[in-house]
Amino acid sequence: MVLRGRSETLMPQVQHFLTRRISARPILSRRLLATVSGPRPLPATLFSRYVVEPRKVTIVGAPLADGQPLLGVDRGPTFIRKRGLVQRLERDAWRVEDLGDLDFEMRSGLGRQEDFAEGAAHGSTKRAKMVGHANRILYEVTHEHARQDKLVLTLGGDHSIGVGSVAGALKGRPETAIIWVDAHADINSRNTSESGHLHGMVLSFLMNLDNSRNMKGFHWLNDESIPVLLPTRLVYVGLRDLDKGEKAFIRSLGIKAYTMHEVDKFGIGKIMEMVLDHILGRTDRPLHLSFDIDAVDPLYAPSTGTRVAGGLSYREAYYICEEVAHSGCLASMDLVEVNPTLTMAGGDERTVDMAVGLISSATGNSIL
């Protein structure tokens, strides 16, 4: 039964029925598993051992579109807020500090966006100087609030903002591990990228692959002594569209990667059990969840720039966020690549509502 490649032609109700994982085995929640093999369990009143009570979340808008070629993704943070994000968080007992959207052009002190267009590209990469400096601004803000033991929530923008959001997490909490939920691996270097777009190279900067931190615009990663992300502290979920160079990096570095093939084979419950056991095991470690909305099947989240059929179902996407919340270790998160200008007939609202719902689940909202 082939479903993943034809999801856009099926009615949501039909697909939901047909794609249920009959073979998936029910598993205990992470909170129960923790008493057997994982980190010590949290008191029921606490959300995360890395967020002080009363729980506070800092929202940072990162309206960056320069890491990819399409207009509109910079409007993602505004649309997500308009669909009631702050109200949802407040209903779930969060004290919300919304910093608004960062002004990358003004704060960079380097001129307007058009000054960093194709002519400022470095090698095969596009707009590297602009993207690098914007991410330094984001890093400074996320690091400051991570040090205050708040949950740091960054709203993209394209996925190139992951350089700054993860750098802030690593600097503030050096033991941080990353769960990267995405259709794409985003681990190309300037030597392997086929497009030159920086939203597909995020992890090469964080891991310093092919000396990526020496690129113009990204020297600050070394200047600020940002810890290099170790392969053992990165896990992928939902991959289904990878470049040749990315496959080579993942295999050579031994990075745990659960593609849509494994999701189909094992079911999302077992996948998340393996993900959390790998990066947490018996330790307490902060988690950063980086969620690209294109990990979700376009049937449920069509307003994104690099749609790939055969993605996570509605419930699979929510389950990932629910289990990360149940781990008791979430310390920071980014939600990226929502582009409300790309679809009509309600596709933008479906996508933005999905983004708000995923954030709500990751921050502790539960069915019961």
- Which positions are catalytic? 159, 182, 184, 186, 199, 292, 294, 337
* Tokens 């996570």 -> residue: 312
Is-contact 188 159, C-beta < 8 A? Answer: no
Is-contact 365 88, C-beta < 8 A? Answer: yes
150-177 per-residue burial string, b: 16 or more CB within 10 A, e: under 16:
bbbbbbbbbbbbbbbbbbbbbbbbeebb
Q: How many CB atoms lie within 10 A of CB 3?
A: 16
C-alpha 103/C-alpha 125 separation (Å) is 23
C-alpha 222/C-alpha 206 separation (Å) is 10
C-alpha 10/C-alpha 33 separation (Å) is 37
How far, in whole angstroms, is CA 94 from its chain's centroid? Answer: 21
* Tokens 């933008």 -> residue: 348
Write the DSSP string, 153-173. Answer: EEEESSGGGHHHHHHHHHHHS
Take residue 64 and report the two structure tokens written for it: 């960056």
Is-contact 337 294, C-beta < 8 A? Answer: yes
Q: What φ, ψ does residue 203 adopt, rounded to 5°?
A: -70, -25
